[in-house]
Structure formats: structure tokens, C-alpha cells
């Protein structure tokens, strides 16, 4: 780590390389650069040269790496953030771990269970604890308060969970499977994290299909059964159009706890009372991303324990995704979730 002797004060600075400068990677890089003390983004890389140059120019101390694996190997990089396309996660994560560098990998760990198992095995063997996974809802104040209240018994024993995950539009290349591995996978981590019980079986269902994108089953409805018997409904709707809207409601024996959509301003005009929705996840989860990056930098630099998701959590979520896709292929029956044990699958 770079160090600066500032009079008596010795400040350690974690030098971070960010792979991928799309919406997500840029957001991470800017947050690190501006709102996480003790970290500096030194390198960025992307397949799009113009895009990465523009992002580097916005940062206070970053230069462009020619290529992701070169970034990982760069001695000016102490730790790595992976925010490139889902298909590249596994290979980059394995490379970072093998290089002994702490890595924060955006979800999913990998789009397939086999790849996720590869990563998890590599971490276990070559760098236990080196990989954290970007399930940022664990840092979202609403989700944290929900979990805290649930644990305090505010709604009694949980019985049912209702999750809604809606976005404005699916990106290019979205498929019915990527809706599961790339979007619903958040809920596959959130639900067991909230309940303290793993997902044991799943069932997939197709609502009437939006005509927005040809060939895409959107929305989808997924049922999850956790080991405690709780049943969860998960609606994933990439092209909901009206706004970015993620909500979670836990129904318990004595009450209900639910996260809310927070709108800062109400407008009364033209016969209506209205408030705005964010266009994407960044405003909704701005706190979560900042607190996640803060926790990650702390964990890397000081070893303080955090609620960051691990490679094991990523593997478990991938196993749920795999079971949901199996249910989808089979037309909707209940499918048991099978998490590969260590040594398996390779």
C-alpha cells in the first residue's frame, strides 16, 4: 500500500484498479475517488478505449491499463474491483486471487454454476477471504434496518417474503436466463441473508410477457422456499418502464416489515400528487454502494470483519440461479437447490 507521512499522521492509501468502466464500474471508481478516504483509484481498464479514457480523466489519480489482466498484475494496484460484463467475472476473479490481490467482484460471481464453483474453489485454495462479492443490499440502510427489526422480533416469526425488482429497461443482450443470473440473483442473496436460512427449493413462473423486447420472458415470477419453511415471491421485471423500484416485504406472525421507495420531494399539480422514481439503481442504492466500498477498503486495509458477501455466498446464489433456470426449462415445477461441495464440480 502507498503510504504518506503527513507530519505525525501516517495515512495508508489503498491503490485500487477498476476493471470495467460502464455505468457500474464508473460509479464505483468515482465513489472510491471522492467518498472513500484511504483509497485511490490508480488504474482503470475497459474494452472501450474512449470510454475508459474519459473515466480516467474524471479521477484524481488514475491512468488507463491496456488490458484487464495487465491491470491485475500492475504493481501500482493493491486491490481490484471487477465491474466488467458478467461473463468475464470468473476468469478475472481467479486471476486476481492467484495474484494475491483482494478483489471486490460485482454480482454475479459467474453466470453459470460451474464457473462460480471454479472461482469458489480457487478462493478456498489460493486466497481464503480475498474475494468479496457486490451484493450491496447488505449495506442498504433500508435493508439493514429491515434485517435489524426482523431480528428484534418487530413482526414476529417470518412466514412469507414478497420481493419486487423492477427496472426501466433491459440492457442490450438481456435474455430470460440473464434476468435470473444478473438481476434476480440479488434476491437470491437478500432473502437468505434476511432470514438466516438458505434457499432449498425454487419454482419459476411466467406471467404474460411484455411486448417491449422480443423473445425475452419479462416479467418473471419466482418462488423460493428457505430451510425455515418461509415462502418468498420474487417478481423480476426488467422493462417495467416507469422507474427503478426495488422493494422487500416480510410478513410475520405479528406484523409486516417492508422497505419503502424514498422520494425526497412531493409535487401537487394538475389534479395529482406525485413523486419521482429513479431511472436506475444508482440513486436508490447510492448509500449502499458507498458503504460497501467503505467496508471493503476497511476490511482490506485493517482486516476488520464486515457483512460483505463472500465467494461462498456467490456460489450459493449461483446454485439458486441454476435451480431457477432448471425450473424455467422444465416449465415451472419445484426444483431443489444443490450447492456443490468443495472439491466437487471441477
Could you check whether the bond before residue 108 is cis, i.e. omega within 30 degrees of 0?
yes
242 lies in the site for its own copies, by CB under 8 A:
yes
Part of the chain binding its own copies (CB under 8 A), chosen from 20-28, 83-91, 99-107, 226-234: 226-234
CB of 9 to its own copies, least distance (A): 3
Residues 126-165 that bind its own copies (CB under 8 A): 141-142, 145-146, 149, 154-155, 157-160, 162
Helix H or strand E encompassing 324: helix 311-330
Smallest CA-to-CA distance from 36 within 282, 236, 285, 294 is with: 294
For 137, which DSSP code? G
CB of 134 to its own copies, least distance (A): 19
Of 20, 28, 29, 33, the residue at the interface with its own copies (CB under 8 A) is: 33
Of 66, 196, 229, 346, the residue at the interface with its own copies (CB under 8 A) is: 229
Residue 169 to residue 35: CA distance in whole angstroms: 29
Binding mask 244-263 for its own copies (x = CB under 8 A): -x-----x-xxxxxxxxxxx
The burial class, CB within 10 Å (0-12 / 13-18 / 19+), for 176 is middle
Q: Which residues of 32-62 are buried (b: 16+ CB within 10 A; e: fewer)?
A: bbeebebbbbbbbbbeeeebbeebbeebeeb
Residue 143 to residue 289: CA distance in whole angstroms: 13
CB of 189 to its own copies, least distance (A): 19
Residue 342 to residue 109: CA distance in whole angstroms: 16
Part of the chain binding its own copies (CB under 8 A), chosen from 35-43, 80-88, 90-98, 121-129: 35-43
Q: Tell me whether residue 242 or residue 341 sits nearer to its own copies (CB atom).
A: 242
Of 99, 212, 213, 345, the residue at the interface with its own copies (CB under 8 A) is: 212
CA distances to 26, 41, 45, 231, 303 from 57, rounded to whole Å, are: 11, 12, 13, 48, 31
CB of 132 to its own copies, least distance (A): 18
CB of 284 to its own copies, least distance (A): 11
Of 274, 307, 329, 342, the residue at the interface with its own copies (CB under 8 A) is: 274
CB of 168 to its own copies, least distance (A): 8
107 lies in the site for its own copies, by CB under 8 A:
no
Pairing of strands 39-45, 63-64: parallel
Residues 42-101 that bind its own copies (CB under 8 A): 42, 60-63, 76
Pairing of strands 79-82, 103-105: parallel
231 lies in the site for its own copies, by CB under 8 A:
yes
Residues 289-308 that bind its own copies (CB under 8 A): 290, 294
Helix H or strand E encompassing 75: none
Amino acid at each position: 500500500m502507498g503510504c504518506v507521512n503527513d507530519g505525525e499522521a501516517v495515512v495508508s492509501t489503498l491503490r485500487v484498479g477498476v476493471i470495467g468502466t460502464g455505468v457500474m464500474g464508473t460509479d464505483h471508481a468515482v465513489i472510491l475517488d471522492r467518498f472513500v478516504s484511504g483509497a485511490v483509484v490508480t488504474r482503470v481498464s475497459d474494452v472501450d478505449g474512449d470510454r475508459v479514457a474519459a473515466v480516467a480523466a474524471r479521477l484524481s489519480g488514475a491512468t488507463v491499463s491496456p488490458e484487464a489482466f495487465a491491470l491485475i498484475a500492475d504493481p501500482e494496484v493493491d486491490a481490484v474491483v471487477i465491474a466488467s460484463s458478467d461473463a468475464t467475472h470468473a476468469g478475472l476473479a481467479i486471476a486476481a486471487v492467484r495474484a494475491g490481490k483482494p478483489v471486490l467482484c460485482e454480482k454475479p460471481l459467474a453466470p453459470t454454476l460451474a464457473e462460480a464453483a471454479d472461482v469458489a474453489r480457487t478462493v478456498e485454495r489460493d486466497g481464503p477471504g480475498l474475494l468479496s462479492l457486490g451484493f450491496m443490499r447488505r449495506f442498504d440502510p433500508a435493508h439493514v434496518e429491515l434485517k435489524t427489526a426482523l431480528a428484534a422480533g418487530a413482526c414476529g416469526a417470518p412466514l412469507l417474503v414478497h420481493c419486487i425488482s423492477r427496472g426501466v429497461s433491459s440492457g442490450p443482450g438481456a435474455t430470460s436466463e440473464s434476468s435470473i443470473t444478473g438481476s434476480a440473483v440479488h434476491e437470491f442473496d437478500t432473502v437468505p441473508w434476511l432470514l438466516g436460512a438458505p434457499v432449498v427449493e425454487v419454482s419459476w413462473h411466467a406471467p404474460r410477457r411484455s411486448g417491449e423486447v422480443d423473445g425475452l420472458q419479462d416479467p418473471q415470477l419466482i418462488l423460493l422456499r428457505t430451510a425455515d419453511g418461509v415462502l418468498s415471491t420474487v417478481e423480476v421485471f426488467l422493462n417495467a418502464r416507469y422507474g427503478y423500484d426495488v422493494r422487500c416485504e416480510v410478513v410475520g406472525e405479528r406484523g409486516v416489515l417492508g422497505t419503502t421507495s424514498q422520494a425526497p420531494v412531493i409535487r401537487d399539480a394538475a389534479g395529482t400528487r406525485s413523486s419521482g422514481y429513479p431511472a436506475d439503481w444508482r440513486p436508490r442504492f447510492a448509500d449502499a454502494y458507498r458503504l460497501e466500498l467503505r467496508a471493503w477498503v476497511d476490511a482490506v486495509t485493517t482486516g476488520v470483519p464486515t457483512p460483505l458477501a463472500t465467494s461462498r455466498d456467490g456460489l450459493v446464489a449461483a446454485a439458486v440461479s441454476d435451480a431457477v433456470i432448471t425450473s424455467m426449462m422444465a416449465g415451472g415445477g419445484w426444483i431443489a437447490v444443490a450447492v456443490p461441495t468443495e472439491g466437487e464440480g471441477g
